[in-house]
């Protein structure tokens, strides 16, 4: 068996607004569009993947929050309806997805070996979180690849950002080793926004783009700081700044997804491709790809 | 008993263990038994509507109120999925939910009903309604917990709900779903070894329960900020349940408190407490928190460029 590899890693945020704006047949709500910059960014990310063959999508999601360790989906398939608890008017999505349980368990076992507390989720009635569905839909709307879904352990709340990051670095290493041992080609998704202070009201027409902007200038400056570090290939510096960034912008990086991704990719020192930056109900969202082929040039 | 449109206030915890596996721990069973006692207390009143405020249902866009007539699902908790699935079917009161939203708007709050098939009702509400109202004898509404709301907004939300109760002419029971101390064991434990996560958490829980037993609901409300700092993992900006409960129930200390159980559930301080309006218990004490009537929105403290009352910034030369 040949060695498996991570073919690409991506920051793939999950505002349900982006699915809503695309009007896919799976979503019951309909829109007149909106958030085009981000949706076109996802289009560019998909184009960048068009010449990459991969077997599985591994997604780390903030909206499956767990406090007793990190959990992994352990059932072959799920089919149900996902209704967003915050934006039910926008996202009522009928999903039908497959899980690569073998790889899921391999990551689980590797993580356990490295000292992390882990658990397989084996209840077939479990409902998949809307963050996972949104990120996976926007990257692969055909849903023709199985996924591995990893919960976000909220050690930041119980300890601090540094503990969270230390755990996510271990989890990233465990993920990479499992992928390599599996012989599979994997796409990794960090399903999170950057700055994450929302508006607390919604326009009468949710897709009214005249109302969309970043919540405050502070968030914008911090988002740009982080994105520029990605563009410059300074991901270790980005991780060092992460606790401050998270604190200052109530960033969704608190869930650990981006730290996990950077660790799995071996803290890239090559330039990331920023496909888009835009805001959704005040939060900062970047769509960014890391292509390991760039490391080989 | 004092004649009040809110017949009863009930504090209950929301983790699924007392519903799904009470037999695994004597304390969990005592919480389950206390739920049964609270259910009997509710049944002995003439309450016509259950108002559920759940700290397990976060919202961002103002305040959401469940209005789907008969939500039905097979639910699995995202943390304790190995305990099994929960089938539920509840009865909501959409008309009352609409009224509550109207009253919120009258006081300046952003609020809306949610009425969608398949909406994910939270673990805490499911546990509370399954155990307190198993046959759906009383219709309910469920009120979300806005993750950004602080005290002023929470007090106004409580008053808005109270407005709806009084305006409807209905008698109500108010169910608040929340742990006291909320620090979970972050490792797997043998259920029989469960205990409150720390002595400090236990001491603060005990202090709150001492006040509640004396009927001092408003005093507990006034101490919520301190409790948040001392005994809560700060997942949200503030500890809101007693602000809401006290605000709906009239902001006083005139209650008969009944602590039916206090036990650890996976490390959290899990109490079942009922508060019944009384003529005279602890009386009015000294309060120092504000008592807002209307919500006037975010103060935009970061967006100082748009604050005309600040005036123009002084030039470098002082002119």
User: Could you report the predicted ipTM of this complex, rounded to two decimals?
Assistant: 0.94
A66 contacts A152 by C-beta, under 8 angstroms? yes
The three-state secondary structure class of B250 is coil
pLDDT at A132: 98
The full DSSP string for B51-109 is: EEEEEEEEESSSEEEE--SS-EEEE--SSSGGG--EEEE--B-HHHHHHHHHHHHHTT-
Question: What pLDDT score does B236 carry?
Answer: 77
Q: In this predicted structure, what is the pLDDT of residue B317?
A: 45
Instruction: List beta partners, residue B177.
Output: B12, B54
Across the interface, which of A64, A83, A87 has its CB nearest the CB of B118? A83
The residues near B44 (Cβ < 8 Å, ≥ 6 apart) are none
Other C-beta atoms closer than 10 Å to the C-beta of A79 total 10
The number of residues in chain B equals: 319
> Between chains, do B78 and A151 touch, taking CB under 8 Å as contact?
yes
In terms of Cα–Cα distance, which of B86, B68, B88 is closest to B141?
B68
Q: Is B236 helix (H, G, I), strand (E, B) or coil?
A: coil
- Give dist(CA A272, CA A50) in Å, integer: 17
Superfamily of domain B6-310: LigB-like (3.40.830.10)
In angstroms, how far apart are the furthest CA atoms of chain A?
56
- Whether B190 has a pLDDT exceeding 60, the answer reads yes
- Mean residue pLDDT across chain B: 91
Write the CA distances from B72 to A172, B113, B122, B126, B285, integer angstroms.
38, 17, 12, 11, 44
Q: Which residues contact B296 (CB under 8 A, 6 or more apart)?
A: B108
- Could you give the 3-state DSSP secondary structure of residue B177? strand
Q: What is the dihedral of CA A23, A17, A161, B17, to 10 degrees?
A: -80
H/E run at residue A150: strand A147-153
Yes or no: say if A276 and A10 are a contact pair by the CB < 8 Å rule. no
User: With contacts defined as CB-CB under 8 Å, which chain B residues touch A250?
Assistant: none
- Residue ranges of domains in chain A: 5-296
Split at pLDDT 50, 70, 90, the class of B233 is confident
CATH superfamily of A5-296: LigB-like (3.40.830.10)
Listed residue (B246, B220, B78) closest to B162, CA to CA: B246
**A273-280/A185-190 β-pairing:** unpaired
pLDDT digits (tens), chain A, 297 positions: 799 999 999 999 999 999 999 999 999 999 999 999 999 999 999 999 999 999 999 999 999 999 999 999 999 999 999 999 999 999 999 999 999 999 999 999 999 999 999 999 999 999 999 999 999 999 999 999 999 999 999 988 888 888 999 999 999 999 999 999 999 999 999 999 999 999 988 999 999 999 999 999 999 999 999 999 999 999 999 999 999 999 999 999 999 999 999 999 999 999 999 999 999 999 999 999 999 998 865
**Structure tokens given for B220:** 């507990």
Please give the residue that has the higher pLDDT: either B116 or A296. B116
CA distance B244 to chain A (A): 19
d(CA B120, CA B86): 13
- B145, closest residue in chain A (CA to CA): A86
* Antiparallel, parallel or unpaired: β B255-265 and A77-83: unpaired
B56 pLDDT higher than 60: yes
When scoring A68, A71, A93, A153 by the number of chain B Cβ atoms within 10 A, the one with the most, hence best to mutate, is A68
Q: What residues does each domain of chain B span?
A: 6-310
Cβ distance of A127 and B120 shorter than 8 Å: yes
């Amino acid at each position: 068996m040949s060695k498996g590899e991570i073919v690409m890693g991506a920051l793939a945020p999950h505002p349900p607004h982006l699915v809503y704006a695309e009007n896919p047949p799976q979503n019951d709500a309909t829109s007149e569009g909106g958030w085009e910059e981000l949706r076109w960014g996802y289009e560019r990310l998909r184009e960048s993947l068009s010449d990459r063959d991969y077997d599985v999508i591994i997604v780390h999601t903030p909206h499956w929050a767990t406090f007793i360790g990190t959990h992994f989906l352990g059932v072959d398939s799920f089919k149900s309806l996902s209704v967003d608890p915050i934006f039910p008017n926008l996202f009522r999505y009928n999903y039908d997805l497959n899980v690569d349980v073998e790889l899921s368990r391999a990551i689980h076992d590797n993580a356990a070996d490295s000292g992390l507390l882990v658990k397989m989720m084996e209840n077939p009635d479990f409902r998949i979180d809307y963050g996972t569905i949104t990120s996976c839909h926007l990257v692969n709307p055909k849903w023709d690849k199985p996924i591995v879904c990893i919960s976000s352990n909220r050690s930041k709340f119980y300890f601090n950002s540094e503990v969270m990051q230390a755990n996510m670095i271990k989890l990233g290493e465990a993920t990479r080793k499992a992928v390599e041992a599996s012989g599979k080609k994997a796409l990794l998704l960090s399903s999170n926004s950057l700055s994450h202070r929302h508006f607390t009201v919604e326009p009468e027409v949710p897709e009214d783009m005249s109302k969309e902007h970043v919540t405050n200038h502070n968030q914008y400056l911090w988002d740009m700081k982080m994105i520029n570090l990605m563009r410059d290939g300074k991901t270790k510096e980005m991780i060092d700044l992460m606790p401050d960034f998270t604190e200052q912008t109530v960033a969704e990086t608190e869930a650990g997804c981006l730290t996990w991704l950077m660790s799995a990719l071996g803290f890239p020192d090559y330039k990331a491709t920023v496909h888009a930056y835009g805001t959704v109900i005040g939060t900062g969202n970047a769509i960014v790809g890391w292509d390991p082929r760039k490391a080989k040039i | 008993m004092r004649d009040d449109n809110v017949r009863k206030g009930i504090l209950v915890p929301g983790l699924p263990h007392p519903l799904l596996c009470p037999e695994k721990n004597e304390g969990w069973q005592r919480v389950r038994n206390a739920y049964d006692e609270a259910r009997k207390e509710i049944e002995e009143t003439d309450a016509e509507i259950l108002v559920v405020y759940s700290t397990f249902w976060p919202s961002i866009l103002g305040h959401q109120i469940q209005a789907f007539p008969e939500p039905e699902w097979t639910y699995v908790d995202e943390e304790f999925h190995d305990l099994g699935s929960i089938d539920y079917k509840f009865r909501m009161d959409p008309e009352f939910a609409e009224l509550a939203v109207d009253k919120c708007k009258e006081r300046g709050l952003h609020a809306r009903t949610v009425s969608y098939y398949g909406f994910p009702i939270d673990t805490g509400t499911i546990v509370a309604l399954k155990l307190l109202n198993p046959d759906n004898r009383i219709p309910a509404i469920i009120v979300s917990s806005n993750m950004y709301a602080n005290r002023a907004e929470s007090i106004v939300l409580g008053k808005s709900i109270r407005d709806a109760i009084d305006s409807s002419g209905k008698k109500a029971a108010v169910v608040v779903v929340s742990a006291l101390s909320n620090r979970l064991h972050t490792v797997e434990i043998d259920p029989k070894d469960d205990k409150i996560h720390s002595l400090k958490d236990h001491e603060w829980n005990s202090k709150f329960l001492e006040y509640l037993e004396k009927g001092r609901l408003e005093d507990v409300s006034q101490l919520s900020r301190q409790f948040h700092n001392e005994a809560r993992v700060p997942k949200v900006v503030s500890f809101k349940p007693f602000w809401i409960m006290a605000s709906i129930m009239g902001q006083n200390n005139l209650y008969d408190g009944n602590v039916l159980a206090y036990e650890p559930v996976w490390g959290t301080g899990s109490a079942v407490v009922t508060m019944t309006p009384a003529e005279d218990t602890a009386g009015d004490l000294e309060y120092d928190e504000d008592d807002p009537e209307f919500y006037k929105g975010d103060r935009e403290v970061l967006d100082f460029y748009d604050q005309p009352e600040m005036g123009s910034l002084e030039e470098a030369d002082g002119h």
